[in-house]
């Protein structure tokens, strides 16, 4: 059995940067608070918890003062920064530069739409940390859409500016954009440049992984896709693998691997989401190699 770990899988720059900042801070103190899971991977969250990272929610943040709190790569709405000032909280801001740039673009577009009686629409998962940060730039007026049913929230007689959560599927974004454009044409009878402004704001480090994973899934007989179950990016990229290779399996760690997925002559590919640590994929590789040894001894 040949086992290969996808060299393009693993942490994106933003997640890697946030974890490095957390580890650097914890070298000098026993406890560091983090607003939400630093990454959507329970195994990595557990590892960092053992180093002193304490995950808190927004309600708990309101009770804190005179301490340090890490802002993860997903970014935060303006209210979080305001609260930090009021409670004398030092923020260790590890917001991804790509997310910060998108927040700025959304804020500018929102100010323009307010003047023109328009709407900001965000393709993303409602309640996702990054989306909360984006809607916070719009005084919570942005319309969050992910499925066709969500399109009913949009007023197609008014101008629409569309953005995307940075980790969504490129294919999904353009499909949604076409549907909105079609509905505006149906509502108005025509479409001019002031009616609809579609902005592909998906992170290129994320979107480039789709064609890379397509090739990787085709090159291997079995795909083990390693990701936290809460990762939106993981769910989307797993579907890319599954579309190319029906013997693709979504696992959170090596304990979910089943021996009957493999045959001795298989080429096995291990890959993961932008929130999947390399050490976890290597752990899965070692486990599967152990299964192969057991098979050869039978």
Residue pLDDT, tens place only, 13-59: 889 999 999 999 999 888 899 999 998 888 899 999 999 999 999 99
Length of the chain: 298
* Dist. CA 246–CA 233, nearest whole Å: 19
In whole numbers, what is the pLDDT of the chain averaged over residues?
92
pLDDT band for position 250 (cuts 50, 70, 90):
very high
Answer positive or negative: Cα dihedral of 7, 11, 14, 19: negative
CATH architecture of 2-9+207-297: 3-Layer(aba) Sandwich (3.40)
- Residue 298 is predicted with a pLDDT of 41
Residue 217, token pair as written in the block? 């899934």
Determine the average pLDDT of the residues in 263-288: 94
Active site residue 50: no
Catalytic member of 25, 44, 76, 130: 130
Order of strands, sheet of 68-71, starting from the edge strand that comes earlier in the sequence: 53-56, 32-35, 68-71, 90-93
- Looking at domain 98-165+168-201, its CATH class is alpha beta
Single out the residue of 96, 94, 99 nearest to residue 124, CA to CA: 99
Residue 2, token pair as written in the block? 């040949």
pLDDT band for position 297 (cuts 50, 70, 90):
very low
Q: Are 37 and 18 in contact (CB under 8 A)?
A: no
Q: Are 151 and 186 in contact (CB under 8 A)?
A: no
How many CB atoms sit inside 10 A of residue 52's CB? 16
pLDDT tens for residues 96-141? Answer: 999 999 999 999 999 999 999 999 999 999 999 999 999 999 999 9
The residue whose two tokens read 């480039």 is 208
pLDDT band for position 200 (cuts 50, 70, 90):
very high
3-state helix, strand, coil in the chain (%, to 5): 50, 15, 35
Per DSSP, what are the bridge partners of residue 226?
251, 272
**pLDDT higher than 90, residue 208:** no
Single out the residue of 288, 277, 285, 287 nearest to residue 15, CA to CA: 277
Helical spans, DSSP H, in 170-231: 170-188, 204-207, 209-219
Answer positive or negative: Cα dihedral of 213, 214, 215, 219: positive
Single out the residue of 164, 172, 204 nearest to residue 13, CA to CA: 204
**pLDDT higher than 90, residue 205:** no
pLDDT tens for residues 151-170? Answer: 999 999 999 999 999 988 88
* Dist. CA 26–CA 194, nearest whole Å: 50
Q: Do domains 2-9+207-297 and 98-165+168-201 have the same CATH topology?
A: yes
Query: What is the domain partition of the chain in residue ranges?
Result: 2-9+207-297, 13-96, 98-165+168-201
**pLDDT higher than 70, residue 292:** no
Single out the residue of 7, 3, 9, 62 nearest to residue 227, CA to CA: 9
How many CB atoms sit inside 10 A of residue 270's CB? 25
| CATH match of 13-96 with 3.40.50.11270 | yes
């Amino acid at each position: 059995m040949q086992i290969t770990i996808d060299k393009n899988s693993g942490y994106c720059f933003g997640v890697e940067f946030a974890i490095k900042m957390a580890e650097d801070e914890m070298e000098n103190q026993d406890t560091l608070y983090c607003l939400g899971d630093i990454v959507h991977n329970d195994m990595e969250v557990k590892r960092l918890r053992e180093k002193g990272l304490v995950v808190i929610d927004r309600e708990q943040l309101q009770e804190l003062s005179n301490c340090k709190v890490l802002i993860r790569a997903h970014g935060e709405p303006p209210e979080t920064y305001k609260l930090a000032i009021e409670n004398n909280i030092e923020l260790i801001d590890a917001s991804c530069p790509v997310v910060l740039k998108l927040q700025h673009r959304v804020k500018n577009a929102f100010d323009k739409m307010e003047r023109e009686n328009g709407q900001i629409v965000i393709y993303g998962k409602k309640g996702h940390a990054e989306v909360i940060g984006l809607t916070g730039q719009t005084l919570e007026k942005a319309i969050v859409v992910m499925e066709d049913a969500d399109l009913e929230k949009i007023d197609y007689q008014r101008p629409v500016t569309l953005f995307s959560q940075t980790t969504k599927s490129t294919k999904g974004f353009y499909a949604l954009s076409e549907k909105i454009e079609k509905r505006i044409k149906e509502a108005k009878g025509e479409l001019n440049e002031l009616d609809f402004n579609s902005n592909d704001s998906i992170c290129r480090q994320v979107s480039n992984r789709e064609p890379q994973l397509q090739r990787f899934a085709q090159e291997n007989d079995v795909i083990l896709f390693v990701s936290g179950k809460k990762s939106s990016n993981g769910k989307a990229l797993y579907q890319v693998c599954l579309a190319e290779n029906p013997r693709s399996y979504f696992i959170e760690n090596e304990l979910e691997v089943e021996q009957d997925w493999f045959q001795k002559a298989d080429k096995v590919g291990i890959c993961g989401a932008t929130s999947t640590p390399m050490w976890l994929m290597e752990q899965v590789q070692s486990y599967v190699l152990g299964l192969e040894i057991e098979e050869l001894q039978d």
